[in-house]
Structure 1
Amino acid sequence: MAARSTARRGTCANCGHPVAQAFCPTCGQRTDTQRIDGHYLWHELQHGLFHVDRGILFTLRELFTRPGHSIREFLDGKRVRHFKPLAFVVITAGVYSFLSTWFTPSMLAGLPGGGRMPPQALAMLDFFNKHYALLELASLPLVAAASWVYFRKAGRTYAEHLVANSFLAGQRYVVSVLQFPLLALFGIKGALLAAPFLMLSYAGLYTWGFMQLFQGKAGRFIFLRAVMAAGTGYVLVVIVGMAIAILWVTRAGGSML
C-alpha cells in the first residue's frame, strides 16, 4: 500500500504555505512528504548512513592525498561531496576522545616514576590526555587567527582560515588515533614510540596543507610561512590546553604549587 502524504493538497506540511512545485518556496521542504512508517524509516537510515559514509570517506581521502587543493576547492564552492568542516572536526575529535578515555589510564599507570609524581601533576596529565581533542577545539579560533596573520596577503578571510584549520585539525585527530593500537600492544613504550612520529606528522601535514592551499599566492616564503603557522598553532594549543588543565586541576584538588 502506498504511503500517505502528510500534506494537504497544495499546502506545505511544514509551514502551511500554498505550493505548486516539488519544494516549498518559503521553507524549502519537499511537498511530497509521506507519513512515517517502516519504509520511511528504512529509507532514512540507508540515506543517512550512506551519505555520512561517502562524505567522510571522500573528505578523508582528499585530506591525505591533496589536502590544500581540496580545501581551496571547498572554499571556492565545490562542497557537495565534502563533509561539513565543523561537523567533521567535532566527529573526529569525539572519536579520539572516546578512545583516549579507554587508553589514558593504562598509559599513565606505565609512566616511569608515575607513582612518585604529585597527585596534581598526574591529574593534569590525565586531564590533558583525555581531553586533548576538546582542548584543541578550544584553541581552534586562535590557531585560525595565527594562520590568517601569516597568510593575510593571500586574500582569505578569517572565517575561511577557521574552515581550513577545522579540516586540518580533523586530519590530525585521525592520525592521533593511530597511536592507540601501539598503546594497546606495547603500553607506555608504544606511546613513547608514537610521539615523535605524531609530532612530525602534525607539522608535516599542516605545512603541506597550507603550501597547497596558498600555492602561487603567498610569495617565495610560502614554506617558511606554513612552518611558522604550524609551529605557532601547536604552541597555542599547548598554552591553551595547559591553562585549562591547570585551572581544572586547581579547582578540583588544590594548588599546583
Structure 2
Amino acid sequence: MYSVKNILKNPGKTAKEYIDGNRVNHYKPILLVFVLSGIATFISYKILNLKEVMSAYFSQQHLNSNFMNDMMSLMSSYNSILMLLLVPFFALTTKIAFRKWGHNYYEHVVMNAYILSFYTLVSIILVYPIMFIFRHSPNAFFTITQLSALLIPLILVWFFREFYKARSLKSIIFRVIGVLGLTILGYLLLLVFVGVAGAVFSILKGPESLEYLKSK
C-alpha cells in the first residue's frame, strides 16, 4: 500500500528513490506491476467484458477478417498483460532515448515498471469506471480506450521530469518524443507481422488451400 500511495503521488520520484537504494517499505516494482496487471486484466475480462465489447465494435466497423477481429479484441482485452510483457521493449526505447544520462538497462526496466504501474493504477481508478458506464455503447467504449492512450505522453514527461530533476523540461520532452517514435516504429512492425499472419491464416482457411492440404 505504501508503494501504491507513493506511485500515485509521484512515480518518477518513487522510482528514483528505489534505484538510488532507498528501498525500505517499497514493493518490488516488477512484482507490483505484475500484480496490478493481473488485477487490471481481471477487471477488463470479467467486469467490463472488454473482449465482447471490442468484438462488437469491430463487427460494426465491418472488419471482415475473423483473424484480425479476434486478434484486436484479444489485444484490447489483455492490454495490461501485453504491456507487462513489453516492459523489456519499452526499457530498450527509454535506454536508447536517455542513453547519455547515466542509467543502465536494468534501471530502465525498473523505471518502466513504475511507469506502467502508475498507468495501470490510473486506468483502474479513473478510466475503467468510465468504461463501465459506457460498456453497452461500443463506439463510446472504443473512443474512451483510445483517449486513455493519450495519457501516456503526459505521464512520460511528468515521470522523467521528476526523475531527472536537474535536466530541463525541453530536453526531457525531446527525449520523450524519441521514446514515442521508437515505440510507434515497434508497433508498426508488430502490425505488419499481424497483417502477414492474418493473410497467411486467410489463405490457409480458404477452400482451395483446404483441398490442397487434403490432397497432401
> For residue 125 of structure 1, what is the aligned residue in structure 2?
72
Determine whether 1:76 maps to 2:20: yes
Q: Deviations over 1:11-41 (max 9, x none)?
A: xxxxxxxxxxxxxxxxxxxxxxxxxxxxxxx
TM-score by length of 1: 0.66
C-alpha contact 1:123 1:249 (8 A) present in aligned 2? no
Residue of 99, 103, 120 corresponding to 1:156: 103
C-alpha contact 2:63 2:69 (8 A) present in aligned 1? no
CA drift at 1:62: 2.1
CA drift at 1:255: 5.5
> For residue 206 of structure 1, what is the aligned residue in structure 2?
156
> For residue 91 of structure 1, what is the aligned residue in structure 2?
35
- The one-letter amino acid paired with 1:101 is Y
- The one-letter amino acid paired with 2:128 is F
Which structure ranks higher in relative contact order (CA pairs < 8 Å, sequence separation ≥ 6)? 2
CA drift at 1:156: 0.9
The structure whose residues are more often helix, as a share, is 2
The 1:186/1:61 distance shift into structure 2, 3 A limit, reads same
Unaligned 5+ residue runs, structure 2?
207-216
- Across the two proteins, how many residue pairs are aligned to each other? 200
2:30 & 2:190 partners in 1: Cα distance? 20
Which 4+ stretches in 1 moved above 4 angstroms?
217-220, 239-257
Determine whether 1:144 maps to 2:91: yes
RMSD: 3.1
1:225 & 1:193 partners in 2: Cα distance? 28
1:239 & 1:216 partners in 2: Cα distance? 34
1:204 & 1:70 partners in 2: Cα distance? 17
Q: Deviations over 1:199-222 (max 9, x none)?
A: 221111112101221221579622
TM-score by length of 2: 0.76
Per mean C-alpha deviation after superposition, the further-off stretch among 76-85 and 184-193 is 184-193
Determine whether 1:216 maps to 2:197: no
C-alpha contact 1:206 1:226 (8 A) present in aligned 2? yes
CA drift at 1:230: 4.0
Question: Aligned ranges for residues 158-237 of structure 1 at < 5 Å?
Answer: 158-177=105-124, 178-187=126-135, 188-217=138-167, 221-233=171-183, 235-236=185-186
- Percent identical pairs in the alignment equals 20
